[in-house]
Structure 1
Amino acid sequence: LYSMGNEQIYRNPMNVGSGLSYLASILIMCLGSQEKSTLVIENPEIHLHPSAQARLVEFLYFISQADRQVIIETHSDHFFNGIRAGIASNTFDPKSIVMNFIYKPNGKETQCEEILIGKKGRINNPQKDLFDQFDLDLNKMLGL
């Protein structure tokens, strides 16, 4: 059963989008986990609308505050910015979040940098290629 507003719609799980199907397994895993569990989620943003990604960030933060460790691997700037927005709005405690950027500079040895998020969600130590594609594309459109 899926509901949209006041309307309840019955749908076969085979007839929903792949994003919702993937999301259902994440929700079940999180809600069924026991205290002190470690949850590892790869690309939770797959096939989700940006607003759904932002809501998922809030849910996963909520789960992490219920005595679970949540480790997320993502390629989503919406997910990354959802965390920054939570910190900026004082909804998320920045001391409870660790973000790492893993990259290979010049095709050499893999590096790991902790990303430091400050007030207003500002990235205190920006890294090349750290979710900067939007800015690069915008600069091209603006002729900069």
Structure 2
Amino acid sequence: NSPTNPITTNSPTNPVTTNSDSIGTPTLKSGYIDKTGKLVIIPNFDTATSFSENLAAVKNGNKWGYSNSTGVLIIELKFDVVAPFKEGLAAVKIDDKWGYTDKTGKTIIPPEFEQAKSFTQGLALVKIGGKWGYIRNILQWR
């Protein structure tokens, strides 16, 4: 069974809360349950989000990365802020600039934006030099 919901617990076998949104406190860890309520990823993250395109954003300390459905960290914990994957890319913030990473952790669009939104229908809204504009999802043009 694949994970469906993040859970937060103070024990790997005793969930204290379950819902579709991540909930966490400094003393609790987050993991995942499947549709039947079975624990499928032991809680070992400070924060865990819902899955998007088979990856979930997870946080330990003050850095974010992405985990797969078995709990393996696919993209290392190196980002300050992250967004869910959309159209194969995720907006990620590092050192006060936003860019985009693919599902392997490769930087596809370098961090150069003041703000960046997720892709929708091949376009993403970004802010650079105080001005807003759209960029194309270059994964669709390869």
Output the TM-score relative to the length of structure 1. Answer: 0.28
* Structure of greater relative contact order (alpha carbons < 8 Å, 6+ residues apart): 1
* Bigger proportion of residues as strand: 2
| Bigger Rg, which one | 1
Output the TM-score relative to the length of structure 2. Answer: 0.28
* Bigger proportion of residues as helix: 1
